[in-house]
A and B are shown apart, each in its own frame.
Chain A
Amino acid sequence: MKTLNRFVMPALALVLFFGTIGVSQATGSWVTSGREVVTAGTTLGAADLKGWMTLDQAAAGLDMPVADLIALVDAPPGALSGATAFKDIEAIVPGFSLATFRTAVQARLDAAPKG
């Protein structure tokens, strides 16, 4: 059993804890919010829509025109753009809920002709 300087204990705890985070950031393994890059090639379902996504990203992932998505929101004309994130819509459109919006999008996808 080796006796150590008492501050070795917290110093090691700090180095090991933050060091692990630092190494993961340096190697690109640090993903903080589960956000993925949504491009035209990404395939999303209505359930995949997240609060941080913009209408443009959702439209690209769902392969729908952004104007159709905006129409589903029931927002005042010109209030929303493709760059608006879902989480910001709540402040613009009182009563907006992402869960309800997902249901509306799913209904729209189900009604669209397959092919």
Chain B
Amino acid sequence: MTSPSPARTPRPAGRLTAYQRRMRAIGALHHRRYAVQLTVAGLVVFAAVRHQRESSSAAPSVDALCPFGAVESLWTWLTTDRLLPKIHPSTLIVGLGLLISVLIAGNAFCGWICPFGTVQDLLHRAKRALHLPDLTVPPRVDRALRYVRFVSLAAILLVSAGTVTLWFSGFDPYLTLFSLHWLFEPDLASMWPALLVLGLVLAASLLVERAWCRYLCPLGGLLSVLGHLSILRVRRSTTACTGCNLCVKPCPVGIDVSKPVAAVSTDCIGCLECVAACPTGGALVVSAALPGRKPRPGATPSGPVPVTIRPRRERDAR
């Protein structure tokens, strides 16, 4: 006669498992982030439609809402003492708002506000819905390609200052897509270079999640540098982290979040996917610290004893 197996203690009603809590946290994050992203993108589309349909000055083109214009203007003004023609003064305000936002709240602009980031996120969701495969960029190639953002930033600023024109606006995929010229005033003969760039960028984003943000965005390159001065950042507690790597996969820009350093890379777009995915309380947190101040060990709540963190290539091979 076998002894009866011990009866499983029923879970009290309303009490969630750790897995359920994690899934809820991820779901809540997605709802909020997509709501904000779609609202901002909707406002930009609304502005573009108004600009195309109305001739009053109250309806600016989407150029007026692009913070990169401020970067080009300031650089040209500082290096040549001249102002770019056709620049919207509002871009300086948008640029100032972005600078303040980045210095205090990190690069959350990219993950929550940038409409072109939203388009790339939508493409990724569509890809997942269609069960299309992900293209895995080898780590070495990935690291090298990330420098292209700085090359494109330098090239754009140098040519803008050299020619004193907003030459990049003719190729900028954000402007090409959101200006809606392709819809209201289609002119393939003059627009084909811009449409070609847009098509290539969207195709790349379909293959690699947020490819534009990872490898090409000149503004993202600048924000990545400024991110070192941010007060709020996603930080990792080296004592609480268990090295489970659940935070790595959801990162839209492919950061190795579980890397054994205290602060997540400044390539971080502040989307918080890694924080929501983390099953260990206090291992990945948003925290405030003055730039340059190293966080004290164990400043965040401690958790289980850390395990050895495997190198990225070893994890990729699994």
Closest to B299 in A: A1
Known: A16-B97, A33-B61. 9 other contacts (CB 8 A): A1-B235, A4-B232, A6-B276, A9-B286, A10-B112, A13-B108, A13-B113, A17-B97, A52-B55
Q: Does B146 contact A (CB under 8 A)?
A: no
Residues of A with C-beta under 8 A to B32: 7, 10
**Cβ–Cβ contact B270 & A34, under 8 A:** no
B100–A16 contact, CB under 8 A?
A: yes
CB of A12 closer than 8 Å to a CB of B: yes
In the complex, chain A residues whose CB is within 8 Å of the CB of B300 = 1, 3
A13 touches B286 (CB 8 A): no
Is B55 a contact of A34 with CB atoms below 8 Å? no
Interface hit among A24-32, A67-75, A103-111: A24-32
Contact assessment for A17 and B287 in the assembled complex, using a CB-CB cutoff below 8 Å? no
B41 at the interface (CB under 8 A from A): no
Per the bound structure, the CA–CA distance linking A85 and B59 in Å amounts to 15
**Interface mask (B77-114 → A, CB under 8 Å = 1, otherwise 0):** 00000000011111001101110110011101101110
Which chain B positions have C-beta within 8 A of A31?
88-90
Q: Which residue of A lies closest to B275 (CB)?
A: A6
List chain B residues, Cβ under 8 A from A34: 86-89
Task: Specify which chain B residues have a CB less than 8 angstroms from the CB of A13 in the assembled complex.
Answer: 101, 105-106, 108-109, 112-113, 270
Chain A residues with a Cβ closer than 8 Å to the other chain, count: 31
Tell me if B93 and A24 are in contact (CB < 8 A).
yes
| Cα separation A41 to B309 with both chains bound (whole Å) | 72
* In the complex, A45 has a CB within 8 A of chain B: no
Tell me whether B247 is interfacial, beta carbon within 8 Å: no
Q: Which of B232-280 contact A (CB under 8 A)?
A: 232, 234-235, 270, 272, 275-276
Known: A20-B97, A21-B97, A34-B87. A85 touches B55 (CB 8 A): yes
Question: Would you mind naming 20 contact pairs between A and B with Cβ atoms under 8 Å apart?
Answer: A1-B300, A3-B287, A4-B285, A4-B286, A4-B288, A5-B286, A6-B286, A7-B272, A9-B105, A10-B32, A13-B101, A13-B106, A20-B93, A20-B97, A30-B90, A32-B64, A33-B57, A34-B87, A35-B57, A85-B55
Min CB–CB distance A25 → chain B (angstroms): 9
Contact A14 B287, beta carbon cutoff 8 Å: no
Cβ-based interface call for A87 (8 A): yes
Q: Which residues of chain B are within 8 angstroms of A85 by Cβ–Cβ distance?
A: 55
6 pairs of A and B residues whose beta carbons are closest in the complex = A20-B97, A32-B60, A13-B108, A12-B105, A13-B105, A31-B89
Mask for A28-54, Cβ within 8 A of B = 1, else 0? 011111110000000000000000100
- Closest residue on chain A to residue B43 by CB atoms: A18
Majority SS at the chain B contact face: mixed
- A14–chain B nearest beta-carbon distance, Å: 7
Whole-angstrom CA separation of A57 from B88 in the bound complex? 20
Report the Cα distance A68→B299, complex, angstroms: 76
- Given contact pairs A1-B287, A52-B57, A87-B55, A10 touches B87 in the complex (Cβ within 8 A): no
Contacts of A14 in B (CB 8 A): 36, 108, 112-113
What mask results when residues 30 to 64 of chain B are scored 1 for a CB within 8 Å of chain A, else 0?
00110010000000000000000001010011001
Q: B93, A30: Cβ atoms under 8 Å?
A: yes
Known: A13-B113, A17-B98, A32-B64. A6 touches B285 (CB 8 A): yes
Nearest CB to that of A33 among chain B residues? B60
Q: Are A10 and B97 in contact, with the CB atoms below 8 A?
A: no
Q: Does A2 contact B (CB under 8 A)?
A: yes
Q: Is B131 an interface residue (CB 8 A)?
A: no
- Contact assessment for A10 and B55 in the assembled complex, using a CB-CB cutoff below 8 Å: no
Q: Report Cα–Cα, A7/B276, bound state, in Å.
A: 11
| Contact status A2-B287, CB under 8 Å | yes
